[in-house]
Amino acid sequence: KGHIAIAGRDINRLRHKELPFLRRKIGMVFQDYKLLPNKNVCENVAYALEVCDATKGEIAHKVPKIIELVGLAERTNSYPKELSGGEEQRVSIARALVHAPRLLIADEPTGNLDHDNAREIVQLLLKINQAGTTVILATHNRDIVNNLRKRVVTMREGKIISDQMQGKYII
């Protein structure tokens, strides 16, 4: 039992019409990227703003900056099938960040990546966190958890069994 507050709002007390506005303050990154195959890097990132009715000027201003942040400035016109797994995940992260969320939830973002790409994605997530965005990283990767030495909340069957400020992998 308990309460969940995001951006200072108790989510149990939100009205239905407030949910879309709360969702805009949360970025989601998935293990399988969820990229649109018929859109290039730039268009995939811009799409997150388009569905929120951003202006063309806003999109033109924000998208190149976020693509640069994730290190894909040279790949803006590439389509998902032309990218490596690490590059696809960077596009996914850029799309999740382009609307400047206060919270980024990364669900197994390294699960489909080799060791080197996984390390680069974790470093990118750390950089994002250091810039002020709260990052929740869900992973089964023992090395990532143990090397980060960040707060670790361990769950089993939907229940919290451990909460450590400088935790390590215990299961």
Q: pLDDT category, 1, cuts 50, 70, 90? A: low
Q: pLDDT category, 23, cuts 50, 70, 90? A: confident
pLDDT tens for each residue of 117-164:
999 999 999 999 999 999 999 998 889 988 888 899 988 898 888 899
Residues 6 or more apart whose Cβ sits within 8 Å of residue 129:
135
When pLDDT is averaged across residues 7-22 and rounded to a whole number, the result is 84
Instruction: Name the helix (H) or strand (E) containing 75.
Output: none
Q: Can you tell me the distance from the alpha carbon of 56 to that of 110, in angstroms, rounded to the nearest whole number?
A: 32
Look at residue 6 and tell me whether its pLDDT is greater than 90. no
Domains, the chain, with CATH or none: 5-139 (3.40.50.300)
Q: List the structure tokens of 33.
A: 């990227």
- Residue 170 confidence (pLDDT): 73
pLDDT tens for each residue of 34-65:
999 999 999 999 999 999 889 999 999 999 99
Query: Which residue in the block uniquely carries the two structure tokens 């709002």?
Result: 9
* 80, 84, 89, 95 alpha-carbon torsion, rounded to 10°: -40
> How many Cβ atoms from other residues are within 10 Å of residue 69's Cβ?
18
Look at residue 171 and tell me whether its pLDDT is greater than 80. no
